[in-house]
Amino acid sequence: AVDFRPPGFENNDQKPIGYGRMLRKEDARFIRGKGRYVDDVRLPGMLHLAILRSPLAHARIVRIDTSAAEAHPKVKAVVTGAMLAERGLAWMPTLAGDVQAVLATDKVRFQGQEVAFVVAEDRYAARDALELIDVEYEPLDPVIDVRRALAPDAPVIRTDLEGKTDNHIFDWETGDAEETERAFASADVVVSQDIVYPRVHPAPLETCGAVADYDRVSGKLTLWSTTQAPHAHRTLYALVAGLPEHKIRVIAPDIGGGFGGKVPIYPGYVCAIVGSMLTGRPVKWVEDRSENLISTGFARDYIMRGEIAATRDGKILAIRTHVLADHGAFNAQAAPSKYPAGFFGVFTGSYDLQAAYAKVTAVYTNKAPGGVAYACSFRITEAVYLVERIVDRLADELGMDPVELRLKNLLKPEQFPYKTKTGWVYDSGNYEPTLRKAMEIAGYHELRKEQAERRARGELMGIGVSFFTEAVGAGPRKHMDILGLGMNDGCELRVHPTGKAVLRLSVQTQGQGHETTFAQIVAEELGIPPDDIEVVHGDTDQTPFGLGTYGSRSTPVSGAAAALVARRIRDKAKIIASGMLEVSVADLEWRKGAFHVKGDPTRAVTIQDIAMRAHGAGDLPEGLEGGLDAQICYNPENLTYPHGAYICVVDIDPGTAKVKVRRFVAVDDCGTRINPMIIEGQVHGGLADGVGMALMEMIAFDEDGNCLGASFMDYLLPTALEVPDWETGYTVTPSPHHPIGAKGIGESATVGSPPAIVNAVVDALKPFGIRHVDMPLTPSRVWEAMQGRPQPP
Ligand code: PCD
């Protein structure tokens, strides 16, 4: 194994990263209720904004009468799409290069779409005044089913796009269709399966909101907003609204969960800015739960046909898939520009294949836009679910144990770096030990024995396995950008005279604990205790430019930047130390936060001594500037590819068809582990997300396009009652190109867990001859399947 510990820490168990379970620095304020969220921002003279939303999924706007609302004594402004259109602000660009209405002008295109807004003296008055706006709609035929959207006679949703005569957005292909066809033709066994990954929602506890404060004198706009990417948002506001970028300050204060849902720019943010410019006063907009669920970015909504080809003895040859992707009314998917289907290209999974091919067809429907990477590095969740379901289907077809089939086909350590058939280069991996470890923790073989006994008694017990490889840390600027912005991240480190430091990051934490882990990285590199390092993030006026936090990219990109910026400081510190100790640089060695004279243990200077010297009086070595600061902009060489093996045990009540997750074993490999306690927390959270998606969560619509998941009564999130005590383990395969060998972890569990749970449920239902059931596996769906009834489309 490669030892990534910096020189001097080899024998030190108390080294800052990896070992100790350092508590989170930020929890001091969170557990005392002292976090400061957007809704906690209260400015003098602040007004409140509320948004009028469309009750219909598809309708022409005939007339809007705002006069009664304007007459409300507490109302300061009422704004419609027509008013925005006069200023060229009615439409805004989406992250996917489409346009989205800020406020509807011509038509409404999904239920919950923004139609008008009111700015009033208080929140209640703003809400009341919405009721006074009279909108006349002419209902149009809604297009809800993605398959119907492609029918030649389907109503055209995007009549705003010139020359658009259908609802087709794009076709995207990857892999080699012909080679894949040849592999399929030569195969002994071919299995195909239709698989739906339903529309789900990130549903963070804190909904979206903003406080906009435009100063008419200085021309400066300050925007507190729930964003995972403050710098990217600032640049987009500058480009859209024509405000000079240096006059915009975006502040993302504490964020109550993001999960990908706070990556896009939502109309509400733009409305708050317009409201403040119009009234000359600070304006706050905070959406409620239903608004969040019906209008902000959904995730998934992929209808997939998966096909797998193999030899009779279980060697997988090829995988092929066609996907119908429902993007809703505007293509607002969050993904790097050159990847219209995100990173779905990793659907070849963790296996050694001869060929692979995928085609993704994206379509407009009268549903909310989104396609956000909900705890998923851009559609990897869909890809992993597809491959792990069809591999299980193949195991069933071959009569092979699903673990044996996977062991036979997993990539071998000597194959890394491994280039997949769709062109991704997996940086490192050692898969078999990870799967073996999960089997050992679970007691896999005993579980199979227990299952046989229970089956004999008519009990429904299932064991499900999944193995995943993720691609996180977007990304190398030669391949990746968002709307033309390269996916690099900056980092700045200032070491003060007394040896305390401030680290400024371009990424933004939403609960992951960056204030702790980034301090740990610098502590590891410089020997300054984590408590002496202040981490600053989430404020464009105070941090270097970078693209933000999603796709588990903070550790792979900014974490690398933090290590390298600290090494820059260490290099300079070494020169200063050589002057202080009057020896040549070559005679110095670095140990435990100090430079020592080789062979003379009595002579050393600590990083704190050096910091004082760097800022103090007296000469520095020839040609050296004073101070001990450094800055870096890091361009990752590749993504990092964490992996994991999950095993789930379920019991199904034969009478009610209720699924109970009895056990869940998760063994993750995220390379070098910075903070094991935080990693466990990340994994626990992601596993709970996985239980939600597999068993409970779905944003459904009726045939008129009414959203049926608009509250937490209908959109069920798992609580402690629905999840088991997680059993976690880990292996460590460092990333060869990351300065400390770390890979991302934030999304692994959400990606890897749904297939393990569904595989377990289908395994339990084997006696019924059931081969697949689509998520969410609610009691009614499972019961219908047990009765042999057809599944809902
Ligand atoms: N880590 C460690 N080690 C390693 C890795 C990692 O320690 N190796 C840690 C860090 O430092 C941090 C965490 O852990 O703290 C995480 O990380 P990452 O993986 O790098 O990630 P990030 O970038 O930071 O973050 C992001 C993620 C995501 S993406 C999501 S969804 C989710 C997760 O994160 N979200 C959230 N998690 C979480 N948590 C919380 N609390 N909250 C939230 O919201 Mo997307 O794309 O956005 O969809």
pLDDT tens digits along 549-564:
999 999 999 999 999 9
Residue 8 confidence (pLDDT) above 70: no
Residue 48 confidence (pLDDT) above 70: yes
Handedness of CA 292, 749, 555, 327 (dihedral sign): negative
Model confidence pLDDT, tens digit, residues 737-776? 999 999 999 999 999 999 999 999 999 999 999 999 999 9
Q: Which pLDDT value is given to residue 6?
A: 45
Architecture of domain 412-472+639-793: 2-Layer Sandwich (3.30)
Question: Could you tell me the end-to-end alpha-carbon distance of the chain, in angstroms, rounded to an integer?
Answer: 49
Q: Which pLDDT value is given to residue 9?
A: 46
Q: Is 460 in the pocket of ligand 1 (CB under 6 A)?
A: no
Residue whose CA is closest, atom 14 of ligand 1? 679
Residue 228 confidence (pLDDT) above 50: yes
Residue whose CA is closest, atom 24 of ligand 1? 554
Q: Residue 510 Cα, ligand 1 centroid: separation in angstroms?
A: 8
Question: Does CATH place domain 27-35+488-634 in 3.30.365.10?
Answer: yes
Provide the 8-state DSSP code for 71: H
Q: Give the position, in ligand 1's atom list, of the atom nearest the Cα of 372.
A: 48
Is 643 within 8 Å of 743 (Cβ atoms)? no
Q: Residue 287 Cα, ligand 1 centroid: separation in angstroms?
A: 25
Handedness of CA 313, 319, 320, 322 (dihedral sign): positive
Residue whose CA is closest, atom 41 of ligand 1? 511
Residue 14 confidence (pLDDT) above 70: no
Residue 471 confidence (pLDDT) above 60: yes
Q: Residue 14 Cα, ligand 1 centroid: separation in angstroms?
A: 24
- Bin 369: left if φ > 0, else alpha if -120 < ψ < 50, else beta: beta
Residue whose CA is closest, atom 11 of ligand 1? 517
Average pLDDT over residues 121-137: 98
Model confidence pLDDT, tens digit, residues 183-212? 999 999 999 999 999 999 999 999 999 999
Q: Which pLDDT value is given to residue 18?
A: 67
Q: Is 551 in the pocket of ligand 1 (CB under 6 A)?
A: yes
Q: Is 562 in the pocket of ligand 1 (CB under 6 A)?
A: no
What is the band of 22 on the pLDDT scale with cuts at 50, 70, 90?
confident
Q: Which pLDDT value is given to residue 240?
A: 82
Is 675 within 8 Å of 516 (Cβ atoms)? yes
Average pLDDT over residues 432-450: 98
Is 356 within 8 Å of 320 (Cβ atoms)? yes
Residue 12 confidence (pLDDT) above 80: no
Q: Which pLDDT value is given to residue 593?
A: 87
Q: Which pLDDT value is given to residue 739?
A: 97
- Between vectors from CA 234 to CA 228 and to CA 238, what angle results, nearest 5°? 150
Q: Which pLDDT value is given to residue 661?
A: 98
| d(C-alpha 177, C-alpha 153), whole Å | 30
Residue whose CA is closest, atom 26 of ligand 1? 552
Residue 484 confidence (pLDDT) above 50: yes
Model confidence pLDDT, tens digit, residues 276-296? 999 999 999 999 999 999 999
Q: Which pLDDT value is given to residue 595?
A: 95
Q: What is the SS3 assignment for 231-288? A: HHHHHHHHHHHCCCHHHEEEECCECCCCCCCCCCCCHHHHHHHHHHHHHCCCEEEECC
Instruction: Say if residue 532 is exposed, middle or buried (CB neighbours under 10 Å; 0-12, 13-18, 19+).
Output: middle
Q: Is 776 in the pocket of ligand 1 (CB under 6 A)?
A: no
Residue whose CA is closest, atom 48 of ligand 1? 260
Q: Is 679 in the pocket of ligand 1 (CB under 6 A)?
A: yes
Is 161 within 8 Å of 97 (Cβ atoms)? no
Q: Which pLDDT value is given to residue 144?
A: 97
Q: Residue 776 Cα, ligand 1 centroid: separation in angstroms?
A: 25
Q: Residue 198 Cα, ligand 1 centroid: separation in angstroms?
A: 24
Is 516 within 8 Å of 24 (Cβ atoms)? yes
Q: Is 300 in the pocket of ligand 1 (CB under 6 A)?
A: no
Q: Residue 21 Cα, ligand 1 centroid: separation in angstroms?
A: 17
Q: Is 297 in the pocket of ligand 1 (CB under 6 A)?
A: no
Q: Is 258 in the pocket of ligand 1 (CB under 6 A)?
A: yes
Query: Chain-wide mean pLDDT for the chain?
Result: 95
Residue 614 confidence (pLDDT) above 90: yes
Domain ranges across the chain: 27-35+488-634, 412-472+639-793
Q: Is 290 in the pocket of ligand 1 (CB under 6 A)?
A: no
Average pLDDT over residues 585-599: 93
Residue 20 confidence (pLDDT) above 80: no
Model confidence pLDDT, tens digit, residues 379-391? 999 999 999 999 9
Q: Is 674 in the pocket of ligand 1 (CB under 6 A)?
A: yes
Provide the 8-state DSSP code for 476: -
Q: Is 671 in the pocket of ligand 1 (CB under 6 A)?
A: yes
Q: Which pLDDT value is given to residue 671?
A: 96
Is 146 within 8 Å of 360 (Cβ atoms)? no
- Amino acid letter, 764: A
What is the band of 592 on the pLDDT scale with cuts at 50, 70, 90?
confident
